[in-house]
Structure 1
Amino acid sequence: MGQSRVRREGTRERVPHPRDHGWDDSLYEEAGTMGLRVRPGSGDAGDNGPGEAGGGSGHRRGGPRRRARKGKRKVLKWTAAAVSLLILGTAGAGYWYYEHLNSNLRSGGRSGGDSGVKKAAPNALGNTPLNILLIGSDDRSDPRNVKLGGGKNLRNQQPLADVQMLVHISADRKNASTVTIPRDTIVKIPKCTDAKGKTYAATTTRPINETLGRGGPGCTLTTWESLTGVYIDHWMMIDFVGVVAMADEVGGVPVCVETGVHDKPTLRVPGGSGLKLPKGTTDVQGEQALQWLRTRHAWGNDQGRAKAQHMYMNGMFEKLQKQNAWTDTGQLLGLAETATKALQVSDEIASVKGLFDLSMQLKNVKLNRMTTATVPTVESRLDRNKLEMVPSSADKIFRMIREDVAMDKNGDPKDAKPSAAPSAKPGPTAAAPGSLGVTVVNGTRSDTEAAVEGRARAIADTLKGKGFTQASSSQDAEQRKDSVVKYPKSGGEQGKADAVSVATALGLPATSVRADATVEGITLVVGQDWREGTAYKPAKTEAGDLPEGSDVVRADEKHCMPVYGPYRWDGKD
């Protein structure tokens, strides 16, 4: 649900040197530090010094060569002891530093409510797509954020999620897509509960950026799941201070403008980010990076701002690839220190290992397989200052994510085929159709379209005609993007085999079959993707076939932001 602090906020602490934890560099200088100080005349066992038992006449046995060999043995002992302590000390310091990084992280629950969306079925290799929701917060409770972003009067107000990007990494880890919904888009926000147990009622009249204040980042995730039908694995959130720190850590992010830009107040429009850049490409860092991400007026609107943010994200990824960030130890340590302080994350990835493993999923994605897009919007009918998604365009984009279809056309043609379900293993045979009870639910209603009347009854009749004589329609209704056949989780392999037989009879793919602990028998939900016909015909989706108005940005192509007239700068002042 809402976030919980793993550490208290504040200025960045000094990172202690291992010496602060008992490691002594003088170990290299004097063996006596380890209790191995050798007094004059002492020797190994059997080599007694003067006055000791077996010492003979008081002089050492053997000549210079023997004494040299003994000296070498002592040096080897000192070296072995030093190395042993070095290993132990390094391991201790390493463990301490690992825990130090973990303690930097702040985290919270993955979701703020129940969207009803389940994780996608694995492909033939057992892999599933990975979906991460990136959230940019305008939280002013931290004085450092006020210093960077202004708004002293907003310190006590609920933060807004002014940046929201869903990053989709394909099941085969060969392509990645990022989709933005502009911040002022009015959407259906489901019921959410925050970390303190406060519940917020569902609403259909508020913009998506308010989800953060209605249950924390978990509510933003639940809203996205409800809108898209896509299961989201994790969320990651960053504020103003975090953006500045990350941009500085990578040494700046390349961005480009078609003309010089100065996002300043004008006589008609107050405010502005203060961004001031010459024509062409600039590596922005520090406060300038934050200005780029917050600029809106100079780009014309929120859709333009989303496009600029996509350029920035692609630029950062390109910079990390060029710096070999996944293999360069020094770079990794710097990024780890900065990222663990800059980010807030969902609980299941709230560790250095969790973040590292997550980043490794992107390691092998090439720049020409990375695509960003913005969901097309129009002026809202409720408020001309707000937006609404174009239903057909949004549905197409979300379907591509659900079906793991690449948003670029640069992949191998054989990879463009939908992910196959795992090969069937020997298992139980489905029961006779006439012995299976099947409940059909009408899930065709959407935010913009009423449910298709009699849809559940029509499909139940179709099933009866195929031998499932106990099929019946339910009076209940749902709202679901994709059609699904659920079976009781307790039914195990037999329950799955029975559900698959129902899906097969109607032409539904095997990936539509899901185990569900909340159903008592086989339940077919006819979704928005099957509003007509008695045989399921999936909508055709092709790689790279994004709807018009998606403002597509490819990571391997050079893009420069056009600047709206009043904010063009000639570089002379």
Structure 2
Amino acid sequence: MPAESTPEPEIPGEPGTSAPRRGTKGRRRKARSTRSKALLITAWSAAGIVVLGGTGAGYLYFKLNGNIKSVDINQALGSDRPTKVDNGSENILVLGSDTRAGGNQKLGGGTDDGSARSDTAMIIHVYKGHKKASVVSIPRDTLVDRPSCTDAKGTAHDAASGVMFNSAYSTGGATCAVKTVESVSGIRMDHYVEVDFTGFQKLIDDLGGVKVTTTKSIKDPDSHLHLTAGTHTLDGEQALGLVRTRHGVGDGSDLGRIQLQQAFIKALVDQVKHLGVLSSPKKLYDLADTATKTVTTDSDIGSVTDLASFANGLKGISSSHMNMVTMPVQYDSADANRVLVDKDKAAQVWKALKDDQPIPKSATEGTATGSAKNVVSSG
């Protein structure tokens, strides 16, 4: 049967064991080499591409539907979660994953051992009315107390103290990552979106690249990225290199890489909003096919129609209405490659999101930052 036209709906509903250590401000972290880094993409990328419209026969709908992988977060986590705040806002956890298998192993190096990591994590808070959003990046190297959790397969995992934040995903997948974020923030995640290395690169290529302007040259042999200062249209490989690099520009820290990632998101949002993909049914289908193969979602948006409805609800948010911050942290005095949550500052962030209010500037003043701010902007 033919696929039905999708209207313009709104968002539905509303490795270690050491004890945590005290940190100090202002300490510069030393660069740390690793062959496999983070990637990212946000739910906004879906806003311009996961739209069926009137694109053809029913078998296309069923093919796209079969592409999507989903995880029943609600079933796995049960009732031991923060209470949902019914104020019209929406909280989405977006993860970038590196499964170390198949195409990802070729892109990121390493062994084909099937292990999984999530080196990029962002909480997207969509405010009531869905016209603006705040994005809070969580540094992968943050030391946290990881709660006990049960993964999607029913396997139980013990709690652990003073472990890296991204160990939650490598330990128990999406459900443990969501539970750790909810434990750290005290905020319930309404949705979950995950994208991997291979899908990120192909998606950018299918979009025709993303235009950015760099104020400094970037050269990083680890991420295979070489850009002179100026305006560039990045293909998938270059875009992946940009969001992975930490040695090509700035102080070599993960916090600096987060600044590059946030700048790339804004460029991507601007690009998607002006693509006009609906003018070409074939391009639309190719994009939708890539996007649905790329993402893993929570089961509430685990179908084409639900994902399209969810994505369309984000289309009113422009990059100029996105406030992007990093979760307040301080450098760990005991280990220059780790950071600790600045609990007092972070509490201001979480309270603002719970109350559906803007994040105050005081929440990030005096916290640890990278040195790659303003290096990349929309082209």
* TM-score for the superposition, normalised by structure 2: 0.77
Give the match for residue 40 of structure 2: none
Give the match for residue 12 of structure 2: none
Give the match for residue 226 of structure 2: 276
Give the match for residue 118 of structure 2: 161
Give the match for residue 145 of structure 1: 104
Separation in 2, partners of 1:396, 1:217: 26
Aligned amino acid, residue 262 of structure 1: K
Separation in 2, partners of 1:354, 1:337: 15
User: What's the CA shift for 1:336?
Assistant: 1.4
**Structure 1 residues 121, 337: closer, same or farther in 2, change over 3 A?**
same
Secondary structure of 2:337's counterpart equals coil
Report whether the alignment pairs 1:221 with 2:168.
no
Structure (1 or 2) with the greater strand fraction? 2
Counterpart pick for 1:104 among 67, 89, 110: 67
Q: State whether residues 296 and 302 of structure 1, in contact with CA within 8 Å, keep that contact through their aligned partners in structure 2.
A: yes
Report whether the alignment pairs 1:188 with 2:145.
yes
Sequence identity of aligned pairs in percent? 32
Q: State whether residues 133 and 167 of structure 1, in contact with CA within 8 Å, keep that contact through their aligned partners in structure 2.
A: yes
Q: State whether residues 307 and 551 of structure 1, in contact with CA within 8 Å, keep that contact through their aligned partners in structure 2.
A: no
Separation in 1, partners of 2:224, 2:308: 35
Counterpart pick for 1:295 among 226, 229, 245: 245
Give the match for residue 170 of structure 1: 127
Give the match for residue 77 of structure 2: 113
Give the match for residue 353 of structure 1: 305
Report whether the alignment pairs 1:131 with 2:100.
no
Q: State whether residues 223 and 244 of structure 2, in contact with CA within 8 Å, keep that contact through their aligned partners in structure 1.
A: yes
Deviations 1:252-298 (CA, angstroms, capped at 9, x unpaired): 1223322211112xxxxxxx212111102222122111111111122
Q: State whether residues 244 and 287 of structure 1, in contact with CA within 8 Å, keep that contact through their aligned partners in structure 2.
A: yes
Say which one has the larger Rg. Answer: 1
Structure 2: tracts of 5 or more residues without a match? 1-53
Report whether the alignment pairs 1:375 with 2:327.
yes
User: What's the CA shift for 1:310?
Assistant: 0.8
Separation in 2, partners of 1:256, 1:393: 32
Q: CA RMSD in A?
A: 2.5
Q: State whether residues 113 and 191 of structure 1, in contact with CA within 8 Å, keep that contact through their aligned partners in structure 2.
A: no
**Structure 1 residues 191, 314: closer, same or farther in 2, change over 3 A?**
same
Q: State whether residues 92 and 124 of structure 2, in contact with CA within 8 Å, keep that contact through their aligned partners in structure 1.
A: yes
User: What's the CA shift for 1:385?
Assistant: 2.3
**Structure 1 residues 559, 551: closer, same or farther in 2, change over 3 A?**
farther
- Greater relative contact order structure (CA < 8 Å, 6+ sep): 2
Aligned amino acid, residue 151 of structure 1: G
User: What's the CA shift for 1:193?
Assistant: 1.2
* TM-score for the superposition, normalised by structure 1: 0.52
User: What's the CA shift for 1:382?
Assistant: 5.5
Separation in 1, partners of 2:320, 2:56: 41
**Structure 1 residues 95, 550: closer, same or farther in 2, change over 3 A?**
farther
Give the match for residue 451 of structure 1: none
Aligned amino acid, residue 287 of structure 2: L
Secondary structure of 1:120's counterpart equals coil
Counterpart pick for 1:321 among 273, 292, 301: 273
Q: State whether residues 346 and 363 of structure 2, in contact with CA within 8 Å, keep that contact through their aligned partners in structure 1.
A: no
User: What's the CA shift for 1:379?
Assistant: 2.3
Q: State whether residues 193 and 214 of structure 1, in contact with CA within 8 Å, keep that contact through their aligned partners in structure 2.
A: no
User: What's the CA shift for 1:195?
Assistant: 2.6
Separation in 2, partners of 1:205, 1:551: 19
Separation in 2, partners of 1:344, 1:307: 25
Deviations 1:49-68 (CA, angstroms, capped at 9, x unpaired): xxxxxxxxxxxxxxxxxxxx
Deviations 1:339-367 (CA, angstroms, capped at 9, x unpaired): 00111111111111111111112111233
Number of residue equivalences: 317
Give the match for residue 548 of structure 1: 365
Separation in 1, partners of 2:288, 2:374: 29
Deviations 1:21-77 (CA, angstroms, capped at 9, x unpaired): xxxxxxxxxxxxxxxxxxxxxxxxxxxxxxxxxxxxxxxxxxxxxxxxxxxxxxxxx
Aligned amino acid, residue 375 of structure 1: M
**Structure 1 residues 550, 308: closer, same or farther in 2, change over 3 A?**
farther
Counterpart pick for 1:405 among 343, 357, 364: 357
Structure 1: tracts of 5 or more residues without a match? 1-90, 123-127, 265-271, 408-541, 553-557, 563-573
Aligned amino acid, residue 195 of structure 2: I
Aligned amino acid, residue 160 of structure 1: R
**Structure 1 residues 545, 252: closer, same or farther in 2, change over 3 A?**
farther
Secondary structure of 1:135's counterpart equals strand
Q: State whether residues 137 and 161 of structure 1, in contact with CA within 8 Å, keep that contact through their aligned partners in structure 2.
A: yes
